[in-house]
Chain A
Amino acid sequence: MIQESEVVALVFGVAAALILFFLFRTTRIPRRPWFVAGFLMLVSSSVLTIVEDILWHDLFNTLEHLGHMLSGLCFAVGARSVRRMQERIQKERVP
């Protein structure tokens, strides 16, 4: 059964995604693809949470957890990449 909080979360996620879409058209942050991908995975998990309540619960539930795990993975890779970039810049500045 579809829960209200799940829908609200989905709406919030989609709304945030749209806002970020417009913001990212003019400004780019370092390693943006990984963070955007992680974010979109989270939004997708929200969608799958709702879908699992409608049909094929096990499949979509698994996919929801998979999306969640992939989202964490994307964020971890993005953060690590930013950190490595930071370290490289610091090395270049040291004479």
Chain B
Amino acid sequence: MSIIVLLDILSVIAFGAAFFYGLGIRTTLWAGPARLFFTLSMGLYVLVALSKVLEHSGITPSYDAYEDHAEILFLPLFLFFLFSIRARQELNIRGQAEEEMRKAVSRAWEEKEKFEAMISAVGDGIAILDRDLRVLYENHVHRMMMGDHVSEFCYRAYQKREAPCEECPVALAYLDGKIHTVEKVVSKDGQTLYLEITASPLRDSRGAVVGGVEVVRDVTVRRQAEAEIRESAERYRDLFENANDAIFIVDTDLRYKAVNRKAAEVLGYSIEELLTMSVLDIIPQDQVSRSEEEFQKLGKTGAYEQFVGKVRKRDGRCIDVEVNSSAIIKDGAVVGSRDIMRDITDRRKGEEALRQSEERYRMLFENNPHPMWVYDLETLAFLAVNTAAIRHYGYSREEFLARTIKDIRPPEDVPALLGNIAQVTEGIDEAGTWRHRTKDGRIIDVEITSHVLVFDGRRAELVLAHDVTERRRMEEELLKAQKLESLCILAGGLAHDFNNLLTAILGNISLAQMYSDGDAQIAERLQEAERASLRARDLTYQLLTFSRGGEPVKKAVVLGPLIKEAADFALRGSRSRCEFDLPEDLWTAEVDEGQISQVMNNLVINADQAMPGGGLVTVSGSNRTVGDTEIPNLSAGDYVRITVADRGIGIPHQHLKKIFDPYFTTKQKGSGLGLATSYSILHRHGGHITVTSDVGKGTAFTFYLPAADRATASKPQQPNALVRGQGRILVMDDEAMVRDVAGKMLAGLGYEVEIAKDGEEALSVYEAAMTEGMPFAAVIMDLTIPGGMGGKEAVERLKSRDPAAKVIVSSGYSNDPVMAEYRAYGFDAVVAKPYTVKNLSEAVARVLSREKT
């Protein structure tokens, strides 16, 4: 088989396949003629190819005779193409028409969707009804409001009726072709709905009414809002009319446009009268300009304003008012103001009363003499303090308010304080006595009384502090003084008894000296015994001075030896020594030796204590004539000046003024009595004491004693120069040994002695002697007789019976005021116990010699 034949066979197959496929094509793509010519053409080419197979395979002879018409083969194929193109063109035209149709339908659908969306979007229910009032269409809102009733009669659906409603707006619209609106109240799901129904006729293209459109609007909210607005308006009207404050509406000309009942009531005008008036009509003349300024300010700023002033009532009285104004603004312009006016006359009075009350209570707090404060119970900070607290504690008010109450307590007391605060209860709390610390570190004792309160919204405590430091000190001092007094009584009694004993001792020594017959050794021993007894007497003097004080028993004394002896005595056993500068020509002074010795003793001991390591104490004396006002507290005259100076630690300046105060001391074991006693003694002597001191350099005490005369010394006494005499002497004393020794001493001096143990007995003996014609030349009376009549009473009675009686007072209380001022009590002389025979002889001789003269 040649390739030609093979190709022809393939051609037969190919064209046959084309023929076969062409027959199956029925679409409009190939219109009938096109498919016909294609299959015809393909069929012809099958035949041509088949003929070629036959020809070239040699089966059949050549078909050349037909090849002359081969050109016809193109014709059906050409026609196929032509009809295909034609069909295609028709198809394109139809496609365009279909596309336009499709677009038109799409637009129509869009419009329909828009319309339905619009209908649905309308907040009102819309329904379309036919002439028979059958529902043809409902939008979503209508269905929600009325339910789905399409194809139902509306009166049945909505009203459950068998006939149209009397005022059916749709029916009315059908009748007259106009739009009708009615409002209906329906109940749905238990709720009352207000529906506004508007119906309009629906016409066809010829204008005939074919149905109606019903628009249903739910106006429930609007009706409720209108009702609320009405109620609100009513409330505001009620508020306006019945307000307790006067309310005015004022225009820009300040004329009243509206006023309420209270305004008329407050001002005394009727409402009608006020509506014809201006604001300026009720404002006092002196406030017009101010009020106009306020109105102008209100008009410019439109802001809320408040001012307080006065208005004049109809009766002419002015009242205090507070006015709150706000501008009325319309379209951006101020067209008036609304003013609310309140009569504050009573309130002002109340405020004034309150202010005065607060002022009074503030004064009670601020001027309370005791420190007071208020502190926060939580933070313990001071919230308020009064002037007394500031003065007492030394802090300024600002310093106080920056502190807590812990700051005025000693640190060791703070835990107890906190514990006390933790237990604070309502009501008055008397917290007892506490220790407080002042700004300068001083510790004071205070009695605290407190009360819990609310201060500035905080829980606080009002505290009143009563400083009892001084009272406590005085109580302690009183206790000390009581103890001292007891001690003094004891000391006085001891001294008295001791003096009685010493009287017996000294008297017997004197008698022994009288009886010694010139034995030198015996005389010397007796003299020593007498000297020791006299020293013992000096001690009892000091003891008595200490115990009783009292008036000094003065006598002219050469001060030098007394000063020296007292100073040396005081420094015995000390590491200090004394240096004296006491001139020989020192004037004598009328002093009580015992008391002046005590003064020196105190001053020298102080000087010694000021020099703990020992040192030099300088004692100097001089005569001084003082002029008027030259030395404070010292009158003009001659004085003996004694200075005791040390080189010790000195006294701080602030203590100098207090050192003569009783019980003031800077020593741990000091009594605070030494310098006070010295001061007292010197003043009782008509003298004075001063002090100068430099801290670290030393101290000098200077005291002045009035000079007795310008004689430099008392005349030296003749030792043992006894004054003897004659006559009867009555001795009265409760102590037997005193009576005995006195009797023996007087007998030794040549006197005849009778004795009595008390005043009654003495008076009896004295009267008996007078009766018998043997009167007594003198009587020696003991001042104090325990359980019996003493010398003071006895001399009075005795003098009443015998004014010429010579009475000598004798007492162991040598510093008793009677002893110092014996003449004032009726005595003629004094002899202090213990006495020597010499003292006794001088006293008796002095009395008897006075009788002679």
A54 at the interface (CB under 8 A from B): no
The listed residue (B14, B21, B24, B38) touching A73 by CB distance below 8 A is B14
Instruction: Look across to chain A and name the residue whose beta carbon is closest to the beta carbon of B3.
Output: A62
B461 at the interface (CB under 8 A from A): no
Number of interface residues of A (CB under 8 A): 41
CB of B27 within 8 A of CB of A5, answer no
CB of B81 within 8 A of CB of A23, answer yes
A29: chain B residues within 8 A (beta carbon): 29, 81, 84-85, 87-88
B4 at the interface (CB under 8 A from A): yes
CA distance A80 to B22 in the complex (A): 8
B15 at the interface (CB under 8 A from A): yes
Main secondary structure of the interface of B (DSSP, over half): helix
Residues 25-58 of A, flagged 1 when their CB comes within 8 A of B and 0 if not, give: 0011110000100110010000000000000000
**Known A9-B71, A39-B77: A23·B85 in contact at CB below 8 Å:** yes
For the complex formed, measure the closest distance between the CB of B845 and the CB atoms of chain A, giving whole angstroms.
Answer: 177
For the complex formed, measure the closest distance between the CB of A45 and the CB atoms of chain B, giving whole angstroms.
Answer: 10
CB of B49 within 8 A of CB of A80, answer no
CA distance A80 to B42 in the complex (A): 13
CB of A79 within 8 A of CB of B22, answer yes
A62: chain B residues within 8 A (beta carbon): 3-4, 7
CA distance A79 to B68 in the complex (A): 29
A4 at the interface (CB under 8 A from B): yes
Instruction: Look across to chain B and name the residue whose beta carbon is closest to the beta carbon of A68.
Output: B11
CB of B74 within 8 A of CB of A9, answer yes
B45: chain A residues within 8 A (beta carbon): 42, 68, 71-72, 75
A2 at the interface (CB under 8 A from B): no
Main secondary structure of the interface of A (DSSP, over half): helix
For the complex formed, measure the closest distance between the CB of A4 and the CB atoms of chain B, giving whole angstroms.
Answer: 7
B42: chain A residues within 8 A (beta carbon): 72, 75, 79
CB of A83 within 8 A of CB of B10, answer no
CB of B25 within 8 A of CB of A79, answer yes
**Known A61-B4, A72-B18: A42·B74 in contact at CB below 8 Å:** yes
B714 at the interface (CB under 8 A from A): no
Q: Which of B3, B13, B25, B71 has the most CB of A within 10 A?
A: B71
For the complex formed, measure the closest distance between the CB of B359 and the CB atoms of chain A, giving whole angstroms.
Answer: 103
CA distance A65 to B4 in the complex (A): 6
CA distance A49 to B493 in the complex (A): 189
A-B contact count (CB 8 A): 127
A75: chain B residues within 8 A (beta carbon): 14-15, 18, 42, 45
The listed residue (B8, B24, B25, B26) touching A65 by CB distance below 8 A is B8
A94 at the interface (CB under 8 A from B): no
B52 at the interface (CB under 8 A from A): yes
B73 at the interface (CB under 8 A from A): yes
Residues 53-95 of A, flagged 1 when their CB comes within 8 A of B and 0 if not, give: 0000000011001101101110110111011011001000000
CA distance A35 to B81 in the complex (A): 9
For the complex formed, measure the closest distance between the CB of A13 and the CB atoms of chain B, giving whole angstroms.
Answer: 5
B4: chain A residues within 8 A (beta carbon): 61-62, 65
CB of A79 within 8 A of CB of B38, answer yes
A5: chain B residues within 8 A (beta carbon): 67-71
Number of interface residues of B (CB under 8 A): 45
CA distance A13 to B3 in the complex (A): 26
A4: chain B residues within 8 A (beta carbon): 68
For the complex formed, measure the closest distance between the CB of B98 and the CB atoms of chain A, giving whole angstroms.
Answer: 14
CA distance A72 to B44 in the complex (A): 11
**Known A9-B70, A20-B78, A23-B81: A68·B49 in contact at CB below 8 Å:** yes
A28: chain B residues within 8 A (beta carbon): 88
B85: chain A residues within 8 A (beta carbon): 23-24, 27, 29
For the complex formed, measure the closest distance between the CB of B24 and the CB atoms of chain A, giving whole angstroms.
Answer: 5
B38: chain A residues within 8 A (beta carbon): 79
B17 at the interface (CB under 8 A from A): yes
Instruction: Look across to chain A and name the residue whose beta carbon is closest to the beta carbon of B70.
Output: A9
CB of B29 within 8 A of CB of A82, answer yes
For the complex formed, measure the closest distance between the CB of A33 and the CB atoms of chain B, giving whole angstroms.
Answer: 13
For the complex formed, measure the closest distance between the CB of A69 and the CB atoms of chain B, giving whole angstroms.
Answer: 4
CA distance A79 to B35 in the complex (A): 10
B248 at the interface (CB under 8 A from A): no
CA distance A78 to B7 in the complex (A): 20
B60 at the interface (CB under 8 A from A): no
B68: chain A residues within 8 A (beta carbon): 3-5
For the complex formed, measure the closest distance between the CB of A23 and the CB atoms of chain B, giving whole angstroms.
Answer: 5
The listed residue (A30, A39, A79) touching B21 by CB distance below 8 A is A79
Q: Which of B64, B69, B77 has the most CB of A within 10 A?
A: B77
B89 at the interface (CB under 8 A from A): yes
A11: chain B residues within 8 A (beta carbon): 71
A82: chain B residues within 8 A (beta carbon): 21, 25, 27, 29-30
CA distance A12 to B11 in the complex (A): 22
B69: chain A residues within 8 A (beta carbon): 5
Instruction: Look across to chain A and name the residue whose beta carbon is closest to the beta carbon of B68.
Output: A5
Within 8 A of A (CB), among B66-98: 67-71, 73-75, 77-78, 81-82, 84-85, 87-89, 92
For the complex formed, measure the closest distance between the CB of A90 and the CB atoms of chain B, giving whole angstroms.
Answer: 8
CA distance A19 to B81 in the complex (A): 10
For the complex formed, measure the closest distance between the CB of A77 and the CB atoms of chain B, giving whole angstroms.
Answer: 8
A3: chain B residues within 8 A (beta carbon): 64, 67-68
CB of B73 within 8 A of CB of A76, answer no
CB of B7 within 8 A of CB of A65, answer yes
Instruction: Look across to chain A and name the residue whose beta carbon is closest to the beta carbon of B13.
Output: A72
For the complex formed, measure the closest distance between the CB of B455 and the CB atoms of chain A, giving whole angstroms.
Answer: 92
Instruction: Look across to chain A and name the residue whose beta carbon is closest to the beta carbon of B38.
Output: A79
For the complex formed, measure the closest distance between the CB of A31 and the CB atoms of chain B, giving whole angstroms.
Answer: 9
Q: Which of B21, B82, B87, B89 has the most CB of A within 10 A?
A: B21
Within 8 A of A (CB), among B404-427: none
Instruction: Look across to chain B and name the residue whose beta carbon is closest to the beta carbon of A28.
Output: B88
B77: chain A residues within 8 A (beta carbon): 16, 39, 42
CB of B88 within 8 A of CB of A65, answer no
Q: Which of A4, A24, A42 has the most CB of B within 10 A?
A: A42
Instruction: Look across to chain B and name the residue whose beta carbon is closest to the beta carbon of A29.
Output: B84
For the complex formed, measure the closest distance between the CB of A78 and the CB atoms of chain B, giving whole angstroms.
Answer: 8
A16: chain B residues within 8 A (beta carbon): 74, 77-78, 81
B89: chain A residues within 8 A (beta carbon): 27
The listed residue (B17, B27, B30) touching A89 by CB distance below 8 A is B27
Instruction: Look across to chain A and name the residue whose beta carbon is closest to the beta carbon of B71.
Output: A9
B52: chain A residues within 8 A (beta carbon): 65, 68
A86: chain B residues within 8 A (beta carbon): 25-27, 29
For the complex formed, measure the closest distance between the CB of B232 and the CB atoms of chain A, giving whole angstroms.
Answer: 64
For the complex formed, measure the closest distance between the CB of B49 and the CB atoms of chain A, giving whole angstroms.
Answer: 7
For the complex formed, measure the closest distance between the CB of B44 and the CB atoms of chain A, giving whole angstroms.
Answer: 11
CB of A13 within 8 A of CB of B29, answer no
A73: chain B residues within 8 A (beta carbon): 10, 14
Residues 248-261 of B, flagged 1 when their CB comes within 8 A of A and 0 if not, give: 00000000000000
Instruction: Look across to chain B and name the residue whose beta carbon is closest to the beta carbon of A73.
Output: B14
CA distance A61 to B89 in the complex (A): 39
B17: chain A residues within 8 A (beta carbon): 72, 76, 79-80
Extra A-B contacts (16), CB below 8 Å, given A38-B18, A68-B52, A69-B10:
A3-B68, A5-B67, A20-B81, A29-B85, A29-B87, A65-B3, A72-B14, A73-B14, A75-B18, A76-B17, A76-B21, A79-B21, A79-B22, A79-B42, A82-B21, A89-B27
A-B contact pairs, 22 of them (CB 8 A): A3-B68, A9-B70, A9-B71, A9-B74, A23-B81, A24-B85, A27-B92, A42-B73, A42-B77, A61-B4, A69-B11, A69-B14, A69-B49, A72-B10, A72-B42, A75-B42, A79-B20, A79-B21, A79-B42, A80-B17, A82-B25, A86-B27
**Across the A-B interface, the 6 shortest Cβ-Cβ residue pairs:** A72-B14, A79-B21, A75-B18, A76-B17, A9-B71, A72-B15
